[in-house]
Amino acid sequence: MARIIAGIASSHVPAIGAAIDNGRTQEPYWQRVFSGFERSKEWMAKANPDVVIGIYNDHASAFSVEIIPTFALGCAAEFPPADEGWGPRPVPVVKGHPELASHIAQSVILDEFDLTIVNKMEVDHGLTVPLNLVFGSPKEWPCRVIPLAVNVVQYPPPTGHRCFMLGKAIRKAVESFPEDLRVVVFGTGGMSHQISGPRAGLINSKFDKAFLDNLTRNPKKLTRMPHLEYMREAGAEGIEMVMWLVMRGAIDDTAQEVYRFYTVPASNTAVGHIILENRQRGAAKRRAAGQPRRKAATKARRAAARAKTAARRSQ
């Protein structure tokens, strides 16, 4: 059975992608940002997921402004990087998982979430920057990635509650997929940013940090937050944070925060990042610790006891 082992949230600032692509990660300004993801890369290498479900938003790259689906699930085998105005980013093609994606589409749509099924799509910085932040810049991404694009670019975006409930439906779908896959869900976007108008460059660290606290401990409170509060407190583009609630809905209520990073500014936004792990249960925990399965361990213990008794009798 497939299972979700963790959720990760991260900003997807395009300037981070440009810093990587132009070899500027060691400059002091960018070093401050990238150093915060070193532990995440180690965590990710250890977690070694089979599949990432990447919740992100398309920035008029795949869908233009003519068609804007609220939730669009990528069911293709491949998703090339989009040309965002200066050529496609020099990152690997994202390899999808059409079987799991189609299974999620079926389960979630029959659970009354009307996803748009996308069989051909290019993906922009919204997805590829978070992949860089936790996987670095490999020749191939080390796991399959299922993109799920959420509309946060044209009013009305989905509510936080709707996003959270979609996460729960995704979890149900993943856990009914028969293959033994380890899945990590990414929520991307945010944190506070306003890219135009008189408030351009707005940063509200107090709001962002409270959001991170609540994401771990009290996500239900966030599901009740109206769009206007996101935009008033975190800037117009701060609304991207509703996507983090899809991730939060897909993991345990009691998920454990294992890492957090926050820095300002990057470009003119705040960068936030968090890793929430599901508590491992039973067999999965023993396997991760390199211990034998319970049945095998019990069998071995019983065999040893029988041998001991037989040895005693023969003396």
Which residues does the annotation mark as catalytic?
125, 193
Query: Residue 243 in contact with residue 188, Cβ under 8 Å?
Result: yes
Which single residue is written with the structure tokens 């965590």?
Answer: 43
Q: What is the CA angle 72-211-241, rounded to 5?
A: 20
Close Cβ partners of 166 (under 8 Å, ≥ 6 residues apart) = 71, 108, 113, 158, 246, 249
Which phi and psi angles does 270 have, rounded to 5°? -95, 140
Query: Residue 163 in contact with residue 245, Cβ under 8 Å?
Result: yes
In total, the chain counts a number of residues equal to: 315
Which single residue is written with the structure tokens 């080390």?
Answer: 142
Element (H or E) spanning 169, and its range?
helix 160-175
CA atoms within 13 A on the CB side of 58: 28
Interatomic CA distance for residues 276 and 165, integer angstroms: 18
Interatomic CA distance for residues 159 and 150, integer angstroms: 11
Beta strand residue intervals within the chain, DSSP E: 3-10, 51-56, 71-74, 78-79, 94-95, 116-118, 144-150, 182-188, 256-266, 269-277
Query: Residue 300 in contact with residue 221, Cβ under 8 Å?
Result: no
Beta strand residue intervals within 46-199, DSSP E: 51-56, 71-74, 78-79, 94-95, 116-118, 144-150, 182-188
